[in-house]
Structure 1
Amino acid sequence: MSIWQRWFGKPTEPLSSELLARLRELPPAVPLGAQALHAQRFIVMDQETTGLNPQRDKVLSIGAVLLQHGQIIMGEQFEATLRREQNVLNPSVLIHGIAPSAAAAGTPPAQALLSFMEWAGACVFLAFHAPFDQRMLARALKNQLNMQLRHVFLDVAELAPMLCPEANVGRGGLDDWVKHFKLQVLVRHSAAADAQVTAELALILLKKAEQQGIATLAELNQRLHAWRRLQRSRQHA
């Protein structure tokens, strides 16, 4: 079995020769190593979904921005609505605003997902409540492209209280941290808008990490593991 087959597996549904060729060209995931934080390619992403069950619900849209060299690269943004012809009205529509007609007019899921992974490239993903985004994206990639997601995800919802213990926010939501840092937010609750807000928060947090002597991706991950252990010990004290 080739390395490519071990990574992507055997497709459950036939993929076009074009998609297969593009899949083979995707770069490998970035390991947690000695990369300097300021130079690391971070993709800050958000997804709108049909619900909050990673085993049942589907991705409706993806929004993402590039964060690198201490700034948000405004010319590097990604946004796509995935075609969902059987999407129905549900309470989540009131939040994300993606009506069934808009979902039905979206990009075919396999095409949208592959385009996103090509655009993201060799990166580390950042998201607010990242485990949910990671599970949703992994399931979508597996179902549509039979691709295994190996990228590192870091949770901005964990980084914020870890790096800012003095803030009276704790494990608050994105809006709580936006208020704490007095960020100017004009639009919320679309994947692209929430990715932009999360990127602004992540930029502040990465600068705080460097101010606290955290210089590399590996050091940030080690600090995060230590912080998690401390939180667990406090819960059981």
Structure 2
Amino acid sequence: MMLDLLKPRSWFAPPHPLITKNREIFAHFDQSRPLTDYTFVVCDTELTGFDLKRDEIISIGAIVIRDLQIDLGATFHQYIRPKNTTHTQATLIHRITPQQLAEAPPLEEVLPAFVEFAGNSLMVGHCVALDMGFLNKAARKILGGTLSNPGIDTIRMARGYRRALSGHFHGEEDWSHNYSLGALSKEYNLPAFKPHDALEDAMQTAYLFLFLLKKFRKGGLLTLKDIYQAGRVGSLWS
């Protein structure tokens, strides 16, 4: 089995059992249940850059939220060895050394473990489409298919919350506001974690997510479908 996981999969090969199981889990996904019924995996990836064709994942960090509480006993953090382990501007920002990357396992080993960790949870991220773009690119190559976990973007949640505060539910987006993870966390007086570290950024995002969920629930939004409809904060990936 381990040898199979290390081999890139052909475009014409059947999907890996992890992908088959993932698809079965979300084949009849129900958005109408109370938010407390769902498990969330808040994830962050550190990248060599933002070019989906050229750049690579060098770290994945994730934590679990159950019953709308952070489960400190359920975390995932792994450096990943890219094809090029020399310093880039991105690795300097992340403070990851070439030696750390050279000693890390390749994505072919890390990705299956992360998919198992995510399980039947919803994916939460700050600009979650970026993280999922890179994860799904890797999943296609390594596992023969993409992940079906529904996703929630805390940037979209924050924009929806700001529209609600201003009373402009259907107005034009205020692009002048700073929606970075650090700026929003400071604005809402959330605990501060070390930036540019996958696990620390996942933790920072988790605090922001729970803060916004609390505000949304106070406004009467009690199901996942309510959250999606109110702020258009997420979508199901095909």
| Both proteins in one fold, TM over 0.5 | yes
Q: Counterpart of 2:25 in structure 1: which amino acid?
A: P
Of 152, 173, 193, 1:154 maps to 152
The match for 2:81 is 83
* 8 A Cα contact 1:41 1:124, kept in partner: yes
The match for 1:63 is 61
The match for 2:179 is 172
The match for 1:216 is 223
* 8 A Cα contact 2:18 2:115, kept in partner: no
| Cα deviation 1:159-208 (Å, max 9, x = unaligned) | 01212444898352111111111122142210000000000110111111
The match for 1:37 is 35
**Equivalent residues, number:** 215
Deviation at 1:33, TM superposition (A): 1.5
Q: Which secondary structure does the structure 2 equivalent of 1:38 belong to?
A: helix
Q: Equivalents in 2 of 1:83, 1:13: separation in Å?
A: 23
Deviation at 1:70, TM superposition (A): 2.0
* 8 A Cα contact 1:85 1:100, kept in partner: no
- Closer, same or farther in 2 for the Cα pair 1:218/1:174, shift >3 Å? same
Runs of 4+, deviation exceeding 4 Å: 19-27
Deviation at 1:20, TM superposition (A): 5.0
Q: TM-score, normalised by structure 1?
A: 0.81
* 8 A Cα contact 2:41 2:62, kept in partner: yes
Q: Which secondary structure does the structure 2 equivalent of 1:84 belong to?
A: coil
* 8 A Cα contact 1:44 1:65, kept in partner: yes
Q: Which secondary structure does the structure 1 equivalent of 2:37 belong to?
A: coil
Say what the alpha-carbon RMSD is for the aligned residues.
Answer: 2.7
The match for 2:102 is 104
Of 214, 226, 232, 1:207 maps to 214
User: More displaced, 178-187 or 122-131?
Assistant: 178-187
Q: Which secondary structure does the structure 2 equivalent of 1:80 belong to?
A: strand
Q: TM-score, normalised by structure 2?
A: 0.81
Of 39, 46, 51, 1:53 maps to 51
- Closer, same or farther in 2 for the Cα pair 1:21/1:204, shift >3 Å? same
Structure 1: state its 5+ residue gaps: 1-9, 229-237
* 8 A Cα contact 1:42 1:68, kept in partner: yes
